[in-house]
Structure 1
Amino acid sequence: MSVNDFMTRKVIYISPETTIAHAADLMREQDIHRLPVIENDKLVGLVTEGTIAEASPSKATSLSIYEMNYLLNKTKVKDVMIRDVITVSRFASLEDAVYLMFKHKVGILPVVDNEQLYGVITDRDVFAAFLHVSGYGEEGVRARFLAENKAGELEKIIKLIAEQGHNIISTVQIATKAGNVAIEVQIEGKVDCDQLQTIFKEAGIHVESITPTVAKKI
């Protein structure tokens, strides 16, 4: 999985000369929390709700509403923006992007190559990618198996499902703390859960659960 597959390509951005009042209005109108700052077609910074809040007068200030509005409309984004922006290449893996977000405690990474902004990858994009990879939101059946941590276990499960004429949308395999392997398979379409349970039981495969799933828009 690469960043290019899941990043947001349509990016709303501002210039360094934008006032923080306008930036705040834009975030509110577009229901977004961060804005890349672009100058001469290059990324020069990032402004977030947090940076705007830090630059805004405190509620305890003695300034009048007129004075506060004047200050917010006078202060430019270039005066408060984050200049040392963590970025990622569109050719990087999604896992690399997640690691950078986790390490630097950020919820967005501008996607930059050769100093050009191609999009952004956000925590919401990562959540959507996880749901997509797991097959969540697809109509069918989610089957979870517990197997020994050895070669061939996943192959046996996939072969049995294929022999019944079912199409597999996704598979996820995770090593558990107990030393075995949990395998989750999302099967497309209508499936007789009881029949499938019997087939796996006869094959000596431990089925932890087989649950029907409904289509959901992500």
Structure 2
Amino acid sequence: MKVKNRMLGNPITVELDTSVTEASTLMKEHNIRRLPVLDKGKVIGIITLSDLNQAAPSSATTLSTHELNYLLAKTKIKDIIPKKQKVITISPEKYIETAAKLMRENKISGLPVIDDNGKLVGLVTETDIFDAFIDILGVKRDHTRIDFYVSDRPGAMAEITGLVAQKGKSITNTVLYFDNKKNMYRMVLRIEELNCDDVIDALKDRGYEVESVIIHQEEL
């Protein structure tokens, strides 16, 4: 799955001369927490809800409501945008796992999506990534999750998928990762049925160590 399949297209943006009041209003109206900042059509940063909150006067201020509103209206994005902010962007053709890795490495929650012409075409956030992985894993559908260990040997995956097929069942998805503690691969197998006793028994008969079985059923 690529970034272009999950990003928010045509994101709301602000300019350097946009006031803090205007930016705050945009966030509230569109229920968003970040705004790409443009300068002559180029993304030069991102302003978050946290940035706007920090720009607001303390609750202990003696200023009147009128004075507060006037102050925020006079304060521009260029006055509060982090001076040395490093803008991390991503291409719409990159895969979502690349976006997730970039966010994790740079400790950020959103990435402007820039096409080959340098144009801002979208915004992908941590929420978009979470939703994508939930869909990829198929956890919203009724299924049985079987966790078991697999030794590193040729043909293991073919044997497992063949075994499930022999039982007349469909695999929703599989996840395989190395477990350092066990020094073996751990496989998460999701099957699109709630009764998978025959598959579990077959796995055990073939020598696989089944660690856990979870039946997931969406509430009606």
Aligned to 2:58: 58
TM-superposed CA distance for 1:123, in Å, is: 0.9
Give the TM-score of the pair, scaled to structure 1: 0.87
Of the structure 1 ranges 1-10 and 147-156, higher mean CA displacement relative to structure 2 is found in 1-10
CA–CA distance in structure 2, aligned partners of residues 216 and 24 of structure 1: 38
CA contact (8 A) 2:148 2:212 kept: yes
Q: Does the 8 Å CA contact 1:193/1:210 hold for their aligned counterparts?
A: no
RMSD: 2.3
CA–CA separation in structure 2 for the residues paired with 1:117 and 1:216: 40
Q: Is the 8 A contact 1:137 1:216 kept in 2?
A: no
Paired letter, 2:51 = T
Normalising by structure 2, what TM-score? 0.86
What SS does structure 2 have at the residue aligned with 1:59? coil
Q: Residue in 2 aligned with 1:108? A: 110
Call closer, same or farther: CA 1:11–1:214 in 2, change over 3 Å: farther
**Contact 2:20 2:77 (C-alpha < 8 Å) held by counterparts:** yes
* Residue 185 (str. 1) matches residue 205 (str. 2): no
Q: What residue in structure 2 maps to residue 154 of structure 1?
A: 157
Q: Deviations over 1:126-178 (max 9, x none)?
A: 21122122221111211111121333222211111112222212110010012
Deviation per CA, 1:65-88, whole angstroms, max 9, x where unpaired?
221110111222233235642211
Q: Does 1:22 align with 2:22?
A: yes
Paired residues of 2:194 and 2:216 also in contact (CA < 8 A) = no
Question: Which stretches of structure 1, 4 residues or longer, exceed 6 Å deviation after superposition?
Answer: none
**Sequence identity (%):** 35
Alignment deviations for residues 10-40 of structure 1 (CA, whole Å, 9 cap, x no partner): 5222333332112112222332210113455
Query: Residues 127-206 of structure 1: matches in 2 within 5 Å?
Result: 127-177=130-180, 178-188=182-192, 190-206=193-209
Of 47-56 and 31-40, deviating more is 31-40
Alignment: residue pair count: 216
Maintained 8 Å contact 1:149/1:175:
no
Q: Secondary structure at the match of 1:165?
A: coil
Flag structure 1 segments of 5+ consecutive residues without an equivalent: none
Gap change, CA 1:9 and 1:166, over 3 Å in 2: farther
Structure 2: how far apart are the matches of 1:207 and 1:186?
Answer: 13
